[in-house]
């Protein structure tokens, strides 16, 4: 996806259903390995929506997800994204910059729901992001 800034309501509803189902299934199955399962859920959610050029312009759950994914794919340390704005006190998970993060299902649930709530939507059969 490139530079898409809003998504059809159907697309976001499908993503929300997917997210809820995957998180529920992961909680049921993963007694050991919660951290990696939570990371995988957020990595997958990231692929539904995130355009790196769009999310870094203001503090939001989308920017926070970008930073968390960067930590997951890197060394588990939360770092500011280029030209990004991050305010710990306004963030969902309240992790300080430079902190080593270890995610739980509760973390994935809170951040995922905040991301889905922050996604701009629009109606229309020919809307971008329609599936």
Reported as a single tens digit per residue, the pLDDT across 40-90 is 888 888 777 666 555 556 788 888 988 898 898 888 899 988 767 899 999
The 10s digit of each residue's pLDDT in 22-54 is: 888 888 776 667 777 888 888 888 777 666 555
Backbone angles phi, psi at 122, to 5 degrees: -150, 160
Backbone angles phi, psi at 80, to 5 degrees: -65, 140
Helix (H, G, I), strand (E, B) or coil at 129: coil
d(C-alpha 93, C-alpha 82), whole Å: 20
Written as one string, the DSSP assignment of 61-107 is HHHHHHHHHHHHHTTSB--PPTT----GGGSSS-PPTT-B----HHH
pTM of the model: 0.67
């Amino acid at each position: 996806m490139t530079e898409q800034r809003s998504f059809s309501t159907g697309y976001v509803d499908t993503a929300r259903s997917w997210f809820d189902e995957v998180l529920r299934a992961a909680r049921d199955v993963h007694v050991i390995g919660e951290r990696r399962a939570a990371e995988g859920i957020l990595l997958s959610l990231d692929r539904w929506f995130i355009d790196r050029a769009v999310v870094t312009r203001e503090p939001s759950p989308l920017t926070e997800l970008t930073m968390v994914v960067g930590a997951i794919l890197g060394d588990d340390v939360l770092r500011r994204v280029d030209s990004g704005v991050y305010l710990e006190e306004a963030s969902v998970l309240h992790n300080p910059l430079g902190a080593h993060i270890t995610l739980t299902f509760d973390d994935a649930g809170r951040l995922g729901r905040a991301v889905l709530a922050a996604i701009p939507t629009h109606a229309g059969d020919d809307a971008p992001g329609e599936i």
